[in-house]
A and B are shown apart, each in its own frame.
Chain A
Amino acid sequence: MRMIVLLACCSLLLITLNACIRDAPYKIAGPNMPLQLNDGWEVAAPEDVGISRQSLDSIYTQFIAEDRFFNAKSLLVVKDGKLVFETYCRDLQDRDRYSNIQSVTKSVTSLVFGIIYSEHYVDSLSQTLYSILPDKFPSDGSKRTITMRDLFTMRSGILFDNDVFSVEIYTDESRDPVKYILNKPMYAEPGEEFYYRDCDPHLLSYAITRLTGRSEEVWARERLFAPLGIEDYYWDSDHFGTSMGAHGLHLRPRDLAKIGQMVLNNGVWRGRQIVDSAWIAESTRQQTTTSYQVAPDIRGYGYYWWVLPRWDAIEAWGHGGNSILIVPNQALVIVMTSMPHTDNDVVGTRSEQFHELVSPLIGGS
């Protein structure tokens, strides 16, 4: 009996001691009115642009709750070209720090390619990748018909799942990433079937470098970021020095909003045409159907932009909850950033959760 009592006391002691390490609040109820800074953004009160304070308060309350949107970091709303809502729920310094935006990088790759395309480095999107990188292709001719359009619409047919892409390409440091990708088997004929993968945008980044002699990151820095006033960024590259076309770009939340506003304005920022408007129109138009066909979350795919028929909107979406949501008919841009490496099924924010959060701002079904 004494032994049982002693063991029970010991167990109680252990449990009690371990309770000493307590949870701290991990979200902060910080301000949500943007400050006027000298960074190219004009700020305004929500009421001045026709957004109700009540709907923003509702969104804010959900956003800072600790049992939802676990990994969220920032939420910004731009209406009529004015920043009307801005909050940082983990650290107020996140406003001034760049963060990994994951697959939002793909949409930036699309914009960079649009700049190159308008300078006629590529004749048409029907041009084959083989015509640009012939030395990288295996002797087997099955992949030689892959076109630039196939790469943009995730229809190259190359079977290389995202679960193993980064590990095999970057961690294992394959000797030649392009050859490595092009030696993978096919899941379908080129142009046949949409399959969301990182390898297609990365092949496109290699194509940009080969076509122009400059990396995608250099093009972005000089022709996209500089006109937008984006100076503080980081872009991962592989061990060949090639910018990662699918993910790995790091931007600040306000700079993401600038990209969104520029796309909303058909490639124009503060009166300057940065990306050709024809490319913006073509790349944000649905080019292929996807596996997301359940209402209301039906999604099409443009050239590295998700197309949301529900709101006539387009979206750049990155793993975990990184988004630029653009609703042209309401002149609305919504940006969310989140911790980039969370498990999507547990902690990460899924796109449908984000859409539900902001739907009061957009309306419709």
Chain B
Amino acid sequence: MCERSFFVALRKELSIIRFTRPLGSRQIEGRILHRARESRLEVKSHFSMDKISLVGSEFKPGKRLATAFVITLLFSVNACPETKQSPADPARHLGVVLGAGIGSYREDLVVPISFDGPAFILGGQYSVRTARNSLQIRLCISAAPLKNRFSHEAYSTTLELRPSWTRMVWSNGHSRQFWGGIALPLQMRNLFLASWDDAHLYWLTTHSLAVVGEYHTSLPRLGYTVIRLDLPIIGLVSRPPDYRYRQQEPLNHFSYHFSAPNKSFDLKTIWGFQSPLLQVMIRPESRGTLLSLGLELALDHCREPKDIWILNTRLLVRYQWKIS
């Protein structure tokens, strides 16, 4: 059995939630110590989220479902057996990444008109972390149905594999830290401009080496804020040929095969292509399950054979379970 405390802002007042979770049980029990009113409320929650009962009152299913979900989610973040772990022991997490936002694409090989639309991302992330080192591998796929100002349709998909390693390089106690490292993102961004060219796929595929910087700062009541920037500095870049504006790919070679976007790689530096990724994530302090919420901004630009601009901005949720 473990017993821990953490801070959470409920409505406008600071509360302390204390809970206990018997090992092997699905049930969470806890108490909310309502500081502002010096009152003491008891909370009982089940993972099934069908009922949250308070001392003296009861949240009815349906009416308070959203509240129950948030409380249960926050409970489950910390609902783990406390382990006596030294800072050098690696903590391994595996989880899912979900996001939604807006994607904007402009492929000047076809027409310099931007195509915009809702973009959705789904993936997984594996991380191993010690007190001074962190390894992360993120695998995501995203999709976006797009339209331009004339309502011409297009579709985009992106496949991304982003392994990265960072190491703490500066620390001001527990409140502020700076981590630095490298990432090796592989990104396949495909664009099908159905209205403008229904015979070809367009793409920007990059295998790059990026420098990574992370700034961690603790936030009262919320845990940590992590600001991370990935900046590719050199990489292999693949783009379609520039003759499609007037000429079809040889018919006995053209296809929509998966391998097609990976041909004809050129070595380019940051002057030839730019692909920064900026994340601002809020992560409640926890040594168990990790929940992160935040914003992600990904810009991609390559100037050859003609400019392509891709900007994805999204709200991101990352939820990871501790696996060892």
Contact = CB atoms under 8 A, between A and B. Distances in A.
A98 B102 CA distance: 38
Interface string B296-317: 0100000000000101011100
B73 interface: no
B255 A171 contact: yes
B69 to A, nearest CB: 13
A67 B194 contact: no
A111 to B, nearest CB: 22
Interface string A1-36: 000000000100111011011111110000000000
Contact of A10 (B198, B244, B250, B315): B315
Given A171-B251, A173-B252, A341-B200, A14 B246 contact: no
A170 to B, nearest CB: 4
B297 A234 contact: no
Contacts of A342: 195-198
A100 B246 contact: yes
Interface in A73-123: 73, 90, 94, 97-100
Given A13-B313, A342-B198, A347-B195, A18 B104 contact: yes
A189 to B, nearest CB: 31
B250 A236 contact: yes
B106 interface: yes
Given A17-B297, A342-B197, A100 B252 contact: no
A346 interface: yes
Q: Which applies to chain A's interface (DSSP): helix, strand, loop or mixed? A: loop
A17 B311 contact: yes
Contact of A340 (B101, B113, B149, B248): B248
B110 to A, nearest CB: 8
A236 B247 CA distance: 10
Contacts of B108: 24
A22 to B, nearest CB: 7
B247 A100 contact: yes
A194 to B, nearest CB: 26
B265 interface: no
A238 interface: yes
Q: Which applies to chain B's interface (DSSP): helix, strand, loop or mixed? A: loop
B105 to A, nearest CB: 8
B170 interface: no
A99 B251 contact: no
Contacts of A340: 246-248
A343 B110 CA distance: 13
A250 B247 CA distance: 7
Interface string B174-217: 00000000000000000000111111100000000000000000
B219 to A, nearest CB: 13
A73 B247 CA distance: 13
Contacts of A244: 251
A323 to B, nearest CB: 16
Interface in B107-164: 108, 110-114, 116, 148-150, 152-153
A51 to B, nearest CB: 28
B252 A343 contact: no
B254 interface: yes
B245 A238 contact: no
Nearest to B148: A23
Contacts of B314: 14
Nearest to A11: B315
A23 B309 CA distance: 11
B247 A234 contact: yes
B102 A171 contact: no
Interface in B268-324: 295, 297, 309, 311, 313-315
Contact of B113 (A14, A26, A170): A26
A284 interface: no
B251 A170 contact: yes
Contacts of A100: 246-248
Nearest to A71: B196
Interface in A144-173: 166, 170-171, 173
A22 B297 CA distance: 17
Contact of B311 (A10, A20, A24, A347): A20
A323 B172 CA distance: 72
A239 interface: yes
A258 B295 CA distance: 59
A27 to B, nearest CB: 10
A343 B194 contact: yes
Contacts of A238: 251-252
Interface of A: 10, 13-15, 17-18, 20-26, 67, 70-71, 73, 90, 94, 97-100, 166, 170-171, 173, 234, 236, 238-239, 244, 248, 250, 339-343, 346-347
The 8 A-B pairs at the shortest CB distance, nearest first, are namely A170-B251, A99-B246, A24-B112, A341-B199, A14-B313, A239-B252, A21-B104, A346-B195
Given A170-B251, A339-B110, A339-B245, 14 more contacts: A14-B295, A14-B314, A15-B102, A20-B104, A23-B114, A26-B112, A97-B246, A173-B252, A236-B250, A239-B252, A244-B251, A342-B195, A347-B152, A347-B196
